Amino acid sequence: MTPTIPETMRAAVLRDVADGMKVETIRTPRPRTGEVLVKVSACGMCHSDLHVISGAIAFPTPCVLGHEVAGEVVEIGSHNEHSGLAVGDRVAGGFLMPCGQCESCAAGRDDLCEPFFSLNRLKGRLYDDTTRLFDLDGNPIWMYSMGGLAEYCVIPSTSVAKLPGGVDPVAGAILGCAAMTAYGAVRRGADLRYGETVAVVATGGVGSNVIQIAKAFGARRIVAIDVADDKLAAAVELGATDTVNSAKVNAREAVMELTGGRGVDVAFEVLGRPQTWLTALDVLRDGGRMVPIGLGAGVQKAEVEINRTVRRSQSIIGSYGARTRRDLPEVVRMAAAGVIDYRHIVSRRYGLDEVAAGYQQLHDGQITGRAVVDMSL
Ligand SMILES: NC(=O)c1ccc[n+]([C@@H]2O[C@H](COP(=O)([O-])OP(=O)(O)OC[C@H]3O[C@@H](n4cnc5c(N)ncnc54)[C@H](O)[C@@H]3O)[C@@H](O)[C@H]2O)c1
Ligand SMILES: [Zn+2]
Ligand SMILES: [Zn+2]
């Protein structure tokens, strides 16, 4: 049976950085060619949204943020004959939404999709250069990825993966960014090998998933580095073998001691600040790979010691999202198999009305793991 789709819905709209997000009633979006409409069960709360809310990363307003969702497909746009999707499917939506047609997509590099950057990340639109979101007067509202902080969202069918029955429809929301990004960094960025040693600098929502996935790929030692003892305690539960509180001790000395004076094979940087870049490079062994995942404020720069990087053959390998079409289904399989304990990572659930307070708590460092907006609350 085709579900009834209401004319209007509630969404968290950011009209002005100074005012923050407010819940409004706007028109329910409808899918176009190659897209699906998803009734959102939950949307994860990512630090990347905070960059936009604070104005550190520019994005057009008014907009709806929220870029990792789980929900149910309620309408299928045209030309989805080969997507394998049907009304009633439960899905996770990935933030990095490949157009499926550009040169990068053709090469399988969804993470480099040019229209994703030029149309969605810069202009808040989908690939016909328009948005799906409008207020009650018909004025456009821009979409950060699918605009998941709403009761319904439109997602290109390239960017959804079906959720098997056992996957929690609320906690499963974090698969589309926190877990997929971590998978991309471990599998694609670092190309982590069995037995390698790893440091994870900043163990928040994304860092927590990096720990679990590095463990799944056979990391011998996983050193969690953070400034909050509660986050470090949570990291141990997820598979970190050692912890370093870099606010209390010298991270380089601590990691050198743990690794017999060598440093780690791979250092993931998961915050995007000059200080955490320095920490990640400081704990890296000769010939090691530093994989930055954290986004900086605007055109923020970090210092790199030229001669050490050159003479010690160290690599810096940026990693953005993952190859959604291949990797999101794999992440879902890992979650369904219990390899990624996504339920455990979700520590807080907010109703849509509480969204602004929730992001304030994320900003204040009060969220362990990941919080989600649960549309049923
Ligand atoms: N590359 C990508 O595709 C991608 C995807 C998602 C998020 N991100 C970015 O990754 C970063 C992390 O996102 P998140 O949602 O995990 O954030 P989060 O807010 O959940 O976690 C941040 C963590 O950093 C810790 N921290 C704060 N200051 C620190 C310091 N000086 N040293 C070490 N740790 C410190 C906090 O205690 C917390 O555990 C953000 O910059 C976000 O924009 C990038
Ligand atoms: Zn994110
Ligand atoms: Zn593309």
Domain boundaries, the chain: 8-177+322-374, 180-316
Pick the ligand that lies closest to the CA of residue 68: 2
Q: Is 51 in the pocket of ligand 1 (CB under 6 A)?
A: yes
C-alpha to C-alpha distance for 153 and 30, rounded to whole angstroms: 8
Identify the CA nearest to 235 among candidates 257, 204, 267, 270: 204
Is it true that domain 8-177+322-374 has CATH number 3.90.180.10? yes
pLDDT at 2: 72
C-alpha to C-alpha distance for 371 and 31, rounded to whole angstroms: 28
Gap from CA of 198 to ligand 1 centroid (Å): 17
Note whether 339 and 239 are within 8 A (CB). no
pLDDT digits (tens, 9 = 90+) for 325-359: 999 999 999 999 999 999 999 999 999 999 999 99
Q: Work out which ligand 1 atom sits closest to the CA atom of 272.
A: 41
Q: Is 294 in the pocket of ligand 1 (CB under 6 A)?
A: yes
Q: Is 44 in the pocket of ligand 1 (CB under 6 A)?
A: no
Q: Is 48 in the pocket of ligand 1 (CB under 6 A)?
A: yes
pLDDT at 1: 61
Sheet bearing 315-316, strands edge to edge: 242-245, 221-226, 197-201, 264-269, 284-292, 315-316
pLDDT at 184: 98
Gap from CA of 120 to ligand 2 centroid (Å): 14
Q: Is 265 in the pocket of ligand 1 (CB under 6 A)?
A: no
H or E element, residue 335: helix 324-336
Gap from CA of 178 to ligand 2 centroid (Å): 6
Vertex 178: Cα angle to 225 and 74 (nearest 5): 170
Q: Is 31 in the pocket of ligand 1 (CB under 6 A)?
A: no
Q: Is 188 in the pocket of ligand 1 (CB under 6 A)?
A: no
Residue type, 263: G
Print the SS3 string covering 27-95. Answer: ECCCCCCCEEEEEEEEEEECHHHHHHHCCCCCCCCCEECCCCEEEEEEEECCCCCCCCCCCCCEEEECC
Q: Which CATH class is domain 180-316?
A: alpha beta
- How do strand 315-316 and strand 197-201 relate by DSSP bridges? unpaired
Q: Work out which ligand 1 atom sits closest to the CA atom of 51.
A: 43
Q: Is 203 in the pocket of ligand 1 (CB under 6 A)?
A: yes
Q: Using only the alpha carbons of the chain, give its radius of gyration.
A: 20
Residue type, 130: T
Gap from CA of 47 to ligand 1 centroid (Å): 6
Gap from CA of 272 to ligand 1 centroid (Å): 7
Count the neighbouring beta carbons within 10 Å of the beta carbon of residue 126. 26
Q: Work out which ligand 1 atom sits closest to the CA atom of 296.
A: 41
Is the Cα dihedral 97, 101, 107, 113 positive or negative?
negative
User: Which parts of the chain have pLDDT scores under 70?
Assistant: 1
Q: Is 243 in the pocket of ligand 1 (CB under 6 A)?
A: no
* Atom 38 (ligand 1) nearest CA: 204
Residue 269 in tokens: 């940087």
Q: Work out which ligand 1 atom sits closest to the CA atom of 321.
A: 3
Gap from CA of 165 to ligand 2 centroid (Å): 24
Gap from CA of 306 to ligand 2 centroid (Å): 31
Gap from CA of 369 to ligand 3 centroid (Å): 31
Gap from CA of 205 to ligand 1 centroid (Å): 7
pLDDT at 3: 83
Q: Pick from 97, 212, 270 the residue to mutate for probing ligand 1's pocket: most ligand atoms within 8 Å of its CB.
A: 270
Residue 66 in tokens: 């929220």
